Chain A
Amino acid sequence: MFQIRCPYCGPRDEPEFKYGGQAHVAYPSDPEALSDEEWARFLFFRDNSKGRYAERWNHAAGCRRWFNVIRDTGTHELVGSYRVGEQPADAR
């Protein structure tokens, strides 16, 4: 069971959180301008890489805030968390 650092509430056990997939995948600003393929890339394609991975978590049973976590998919290490609007380098 992970212990995840919510940037707003501090470290809490995993059951308080909900997973939200890869971070920094913005909803396209003008979806209508995209081709079917470009739209499908946004909808269906996510990285599945080994190593440090930025992903979204929601403190669902706490402050309800969405934030980002850097997790090492190889070692399961949680490198750090950061708020929406911050960059992976801000993780702590």
Chain B
Amino acid sequence: MRRLPDRGRVDHGHRVSFSWDGRTVEGLRGDTLASALLANGIRVLGSSVLMSRPRGVVGDGVSDPHAFAQVGAGDATEPLMRMHQVETHDGLAAASRIHQGILPTGADPDRFEKRHAHCDVLVAGGGPAGLAAALAAAEQGARVILVDDHPGLGGAVLGEDLILDDEPADHWVRHAEERLRANPDVTVLTRTTVFNVGDQGAVALMERVSEHVPADRRHGRALRRLWQVRTHQLVVATGATERPLVFADNDRPGVMLAGGVRGLLHRYGLVPDRCVVFTTNDSAYRTAIDLIGAGVEVPCVVDVRPDPSGPLVRRARDLGIEVRTASAVIATDPDAEGALAGVRIVGLDGGAEEAVACDVLAVSGGWDPLMDLHHHVGGQARWDAEQLCFVPEGTVDGLRLAGAAAGVFGTAACRRDGHLVGLVAAEATGFGSAADGPAAPAAEEDHAGAPADFVVVPGTDPVHAFVDQHRDVTIAGVERALGSGLHHVEHLKRYTLVGTGTEQGRTAKVNAGRMAADRFGLPFAEVGVSNARPPAQPVTFGALAGRALGARFDPVRTTSIHPWHVAHGAVFEDVGQWKRPWFFPQGAEDMDAAVLRECAAVREAVGMMDASTLGKIDVKGADAGAFLDRLYTGVMSTLKPGRARYGVMCKADGMVMDDGVVLRLADDRFLVTTTTGGAAGVLDWMEDFLQTEWPDLDVWLTSVTEQWATVAVVGPRSRDVMASLAPDLDATQDAFKFMQVEEAVVAGMAARVARISFSGELAFEISVPMTWGLALWEAVFAAGQPFGITPYGTESMHVLRAEKGYFIVGQETDGTVTPLDLGLDWMVADKEFVGRRSLRRSDMLRDDRKQLVGILPAERLPEGAQLVEDADFEIPVPMIGHVTSSYDSAALGRPFGLALVRKGRDRIGETIYAPLADRTVAVEIVDPVIFDQEGARRDG
């Protein structure tokens, strides 16, 4: 195509320079990538996805099956960018990749933002209908957000030469925009696309903030911004999209949609040399009229109708344009690069084929309302047999369509419809009355002639006639699918891929559905078209992520002692959102060596651990004890103040849910500890029963996990460390017994000290307010130096507890394990508690349930290893259990572990086997308590 010097909305005095496939190309300010390439005579954009046929620009907007390109260089590159949305600027780098993009491998250097907003009426689309709707709603007092995906407002007006109120329609658009921008309750967002509509007016927008300016002039602005808007009413005024016709070689570059040809003229000043128009309706006559007005040769308009007679047809004839009625384009001829050189015209009543040379064929098969957003929320459509398109059927709560998107065509009619819908939307939000609102502007009656019901040119070559150009689906392809029994359009879509891909079938699916209806002789209304699903346009993942990247992806929780762990080289483990020291390697130690050293230190001298992440819930009130009795398998109400007790709670199905030590601080106050990962869930669970089942109980729950730092001092020398740290605390066995809680001054700090042990060793857990945690830790570390105190992490903690047969929720349990399976019969009190009834369900009474046992394997096994009865087996072989924990033990000098094994307790002393990939390992079953079975170490 060539550029006219005085036409279009581009800045003819301002040239920009960008690269296309590595070569430098010039365009004008205001060009899109598509228009700039066309102005440079680049007609072939790339090859089609399956058949490698040359393809070019088809339209001037979102409904273009081929205008996709790779944009940006390096890690900023993005695939499948819409060429009609990419605004050219100096330094833009784009490349031909119309169907398969390249993803960057590194981190995205671009920045994306998110924003939340609320409004009463959100209007999608800034054409005549959308502008009128926004104006009407705003004038009634509603807060309005108007969204349009172009750089400027006006919609179809910008791509046409239209008259409104006896002057160019531009005037009204400019006037409307001024009024909207002057209203402080109206937000106008251009270069912004509504891509999803969710529940209760949740609307997602993508704003292109700075991608249209050169990178060095973005000044730190985000590339794009995701808006999450909650609106009371959504007005969809997204216009309509033109439908192509199906004939042989209808995919050649140069075969365009008639409205797109007009858009290229009026937006960018681009015209063909010779243009044939092929249509089923009056609208395409505008293309012929506008092109003649721009001095372009139009050899003829080919109209399938025998007797077209609307006002536009008359005007075209008056201008001397030849109209060939009852005719069709049946095929096209290529030039050297495969682009359009001419068309073959046939009379539908017979007669010879005639060749006419042209570089552009402007096609119109009618117009389809763009109702994607209506469909996203379940909106229905019906076939309008007069206008020959699907139009919305009814409305979904909170969403109204206006203008062409509602099947209302014509500029003045769209403006009128938008005005009325805007008033209704405002009224639904509580602003004004639609009946008493400002009067709607008039709309002239539409005298256009009836369109023809026509899709496929009879007698055309089915192998080269494309139904879905984006997906390379031909008539033959559709016929093959329908012949295979795929009667439903959704099946047709999945079999042929009609209507899928980046373009989502906007130019294809109506024609495909139509062919299915014709083939089976069914009314089109019954067959319908395949459904549109979100997003309405592709969305960059980066924009969905926004700034929630890396450390900002998820909160990281650390204790006040964390800086010490970092400074001392701890390797961390993620436990929920918490960072916990996993082990503290010294020198070149690996994990196994560090853990053996840490465990040995705890068993032989003294170790220390940061236990601050343990969940802590303050349970207060006169009924606190009774409340806990109903949730734990054991009895907590009999606990004396100053004492602690270990507890397990079950879900209603009797499966272990969480465990921890409960401290009674006063008659009406307990401190419940939970697993690190389970804290939030246990609190929700407790609140659930308290609020919904037992609201009569006087109990108050408060999470205090982050209020207390806890340092565990563990090992035979821990009492010596305590003596040094807290000289006023009598830590002798007689004065300070196991499971006793004392208030004491520790290292000068008011502290709570509890004798709780998760290792079987003599141990003291010291708790102080979280802000003092680091001071406490450093004091413990200093006081422990004479005794060789060794900081240890979660891995050593796991080994030490496993040696004692203590299970870990989520490791030994997986939601199918009861307290009885774990051998905790002694903890299941004879009283009602949540889940108790489940423990005598028939399945719980089976005698072959998996039970917790200790294992002594010949070598260290992988956790999760399956266990079988015999060493010699043939696959398939019954699995009788699996390894839940597996470690090397410093104290035992050998590998050991825990396992869940069918009838495990009856098998103690037996040898079973763990089949690994290349060998089978003998495993001796032992009591879960492998180390210090008599519990002699607990009291030092």
Contact = CB atoms under 8 A, between A and B. Distances in A.
B230 interface: yes
A64 B687 contact: yes
A20 B693 contact: no
Contact of A31 (B200, B695, B832): B832
B202 interface: yes
Given A31-B837, A34-B837, A58-B684, A66 B691 contact: yes
Contacts of B230: 3, 13
B194 to A, nearest CB: 15
A36 interface: yes
A27 B837 CA distance: 11
B202 A1 contact: yes
Interface in B698-729: none
Contacts of B842: 36
Contact of A3 (B199, B683, B832, B837): B199
A66 B687 contact: yes
B836 A31 contact: yes
B286 to A, nearest CB: 41
B834 interface: yes
B161 to A, nearest CB: 43
Interface in A36-92: 36, 39-40, 42-43, 56, 58, 60, 64-66, 75-78, 84-85
Contact of B652 (A18, A27, A64): A27
Contacts of A40: 841
Interface string B817-859: 0000000000000001010111001100000000000000000
B845 to A, nearest CB: 10
Interface in A5-30: 13, 18, 20, 26-28
A75 B199 CA distance: 10
Given A1-B198, A1-B199, A43-B653, A66 B688 contact: yes
B397 interface: yes
Given A3-B230, A31-B832, A66 B198 contact: no
Contact of A76 (B199, B680, B688): B199
A3 B202 CA distance: 8
B52 interface: no
Given A3-B202, A34-B837, A39-B837, A65 B652 contact: no
A31 B832 CA distance: 8
A77 B363 CA distance: 43
A2 to B, nearest CB: 5
A65 B680 CA distance: 14
B838 A39 contact: yes
B691 A65 contact: yes
B534 interface: no
Contact of A20 (B202, B652, B688, B836): B688
B65 interface: no
Nearest to A38: B837
Contacts of B199: 1-3, 76, 78
Contact of A84 (B198, B680, B691): B691
Nearest to B844: A36
Interface in B627-674: 652-653
A28 B838 CA distance: 12
A84 B695 contact: yes
Nearest to A23: B692
A31 B839 CA distance: 11
Q: Which of B200, B230, B378, B653 has the most CB of A within 10 A?
A: B200
Nearest to A34: B837
Given A39-B841, A43-B838, A84-B695, A58 B202 contact: no
Given A3-B201, A43-B652, A58 B834 contact: no
A31 B202 CA distance: 43
A32 B838 CA distance: 9
Contact count band on B: 20 to 34
Contacts of A3: 199-202, 230
A53 to B, nearest CB: 15
B832 A32 contact: yes
A38 to B, nearest CB: 10
Contacts of A65: 687, 691
A85 B696 CA distance: 12
Contacts of B202: 1-3
Given A3-B200, A3-B201, A26 B838 contact: no
Interface string B196-217: 0011111000000000000000
B836 A58 contact: no
A79 to B, nearest CB: 11
Given A31-B836, A39-B837, A58 B200 contact: no
B841 A66 contact: no
A27 B687 contact: no
Interface in B359-410: 378, 397
Contacts of A31: 832, 836-837
A75 B380 CA distance: 13
Nearest to A18: B684
B196 to A, nearest CB: 10
Nearest to A24: B692
Contacts of A39: 837-838, 841
Contacts of A34: 837
B692 A66 contact: yes
B677 to A, nearest CB: 16
Interface in B202-237: 202, 228, 230
A76 to B, nearest CB: 5
A29 to B, nearest CB: 10
Nearest to B397: A77
A29 B684 CA distance: 21
Nearest to B691: A66
Contacts of B693: 26-27
Nearest to B836: A31
A14 B628 CA distance: 31
Nearest to B201: A3
B200 A84 contact: no
Contacts of A77: 397
Given A1-B198, A2-B199, A27-B652, A32 B691 contact: no
Contacts of B838: 39, 43
A10 B23 CA distance: 58
Contacts of A43: 652-653, 838
Contacts of B689: 27
A38 B240 CA distance: 58
Nearest to B701: A64
Contact of A32 (B198, B200, B837): B837
A27 B653 CA distance: 12
Contacts of A1: 198-199, 202, 228
Nearest to B834: A27
Interface string B776-804: 00000000000000000000000000000
A66 B680 CA distance: 14
A56 B691 CA distance: 12
Contact of A58 (B228, B653, B687, B841): B687
B695 A85 contact: yes
Contacts of B198: 1
Nearest to A60: B684
A43 B890 CA distance: 45
A1 B691 CA distance: 26
B690 to A, nearest CB: 9
A55 to B, nearest CB: 13
A41 B371 CA distance: 45
A32 to B, nearest CB: 6
11 contacts: A1-B199, A18-B684, A26-B693, A36-B841, A39-B841, A42-B652, A43-B652, A60-B684, A66-B687, A75-B397, A77-B397
Given A39-B841, A85-B695, 9 more contacts: A2-B199, A2-B202, A13-B230, A26-B693, A34-B837, A36-B842, A39-B838, A77-B397, A78-B199
Interface of A: 1-3, 13, 18, 20, 26-28, 31-32, 34, 36, 39-40, 42-43, 56, 58, 60, 64-66, 75-78, 84-85
Listed from nearest, the 7 A-B pairs whose CB atoms lie closest are A31-B837, A3-B200, A1-B202, A66-B691, A2-B199, A84-B692, A27-B693
